[in-house]
Chains A and B, each alone.
Chain A
């Protein structure tokens, strides 16, 4: 709650570090005009390492073993493809180093959390929207059934959305010199600010472009 100077890539109050380090791998890849399939392939192994750290309950060892196998297979290609593959390989390795650093830093950070911070971090990580309710909501809009991917994507994005609103509301709260249990007036001011930034979609007013 007392880190107002953090970069805008922060996801929330306490676990600010995690998002700061996670956003950079996302950003340079987003700027690449190489097309989505290329990116997914290139990022595959880097994201593997990240997935291994994040889903630690899930067979992380098997996953990291697989990454070695995958890398070997991918080197049997034509020269042109090989060149592209080399480029993505370098990027991949760089990203892997970044991810390993990130994982280590995260571990150090988490090990130095106080009890309350640990609690909060756990809540931040584990809270999620019930997929069934979201699926029902979306289906009531489209009228047809939707694929599972869409439900997962929407849940994830809504969580980010909640984070943005809460973070902004906490900023407002602090600015007005009041204490944490967020009150509706903070939330509404936060919504107003985000709306002016264009972060909250609203289709109520049709934009008139030329007049």
Chain B
């Protein structure tokens, strides 16, 4: 059945990269079940999405998260640098790039605001 065919592919990818972190054969602990459900509802799915769909999504996300830094490791510095990931995503996806930029600039602003807030506290 198609369902069975798909799962080993995902499992195999993860085992190759994740090593021992995720545990044995295919019995990976469900890391993101609750959050993924909320997210799917937020993006337009039903209030109770199917468990299998959530599973597929979780596999996808884990593959994505492991894939991205893995590629970044082989570029530029042999470590983990922020900017490399960013440049990657420019090429691939304008939407993700915009989101990343927003995230980073917002973080800057929050840091600035918090610092100034603390200084204001000091002054008074």
Contacts and interface: CB of A to CB of B under 8 A. Distances in A.
Interface string A142-175: 1010110110111011111111111100100000
Contacts of B13: 202, 204
B108 A123 contact: no
A66 interface: yes
Contacts of B62: 137
Nearest to A161: B64
A55 B113 CA distance: 12
Nearest to A64: B113
Interface residues of B, number: 73
Q: Do most interface residues of chain B lie in helix, strand or loop, or is the interface mixed?
A: helix
B117 A59 contact: yes
Contact of A160 (B99, B108, B113, B116): B99
Given A22-B98, A51-B106, A137 B65 contact: yes
**Which size bracket describes the interface of A in this complex?**
35 or more
B50 A123 contact: no
A162 B104 CA distance: 20
Interface in B67-99: 67-71, 73, 79-80, 82, 85-86, 89-90, 92-99
Interface of A: 1, 8-9, 11-14, 22-23, 26-27, 29-30, 40, 43-44, 47-48, 50-51, 54-55, 58-59, 62-63, 66, 120-130, 133-134, 136-138, 140-142, 144, 146-147, 149-150, 152-154, 156-167, 170, 180-188, 191, 198-204
Interface of B: 2-3, 6, 13, 17-19, 21-22, 31-32, 35-36, 38-46, 48-50, 52-53, 56-57, 60-71, 73, 79-80, 82, 85-86, 89-90, 92-110, 112-113, 116-117, 120
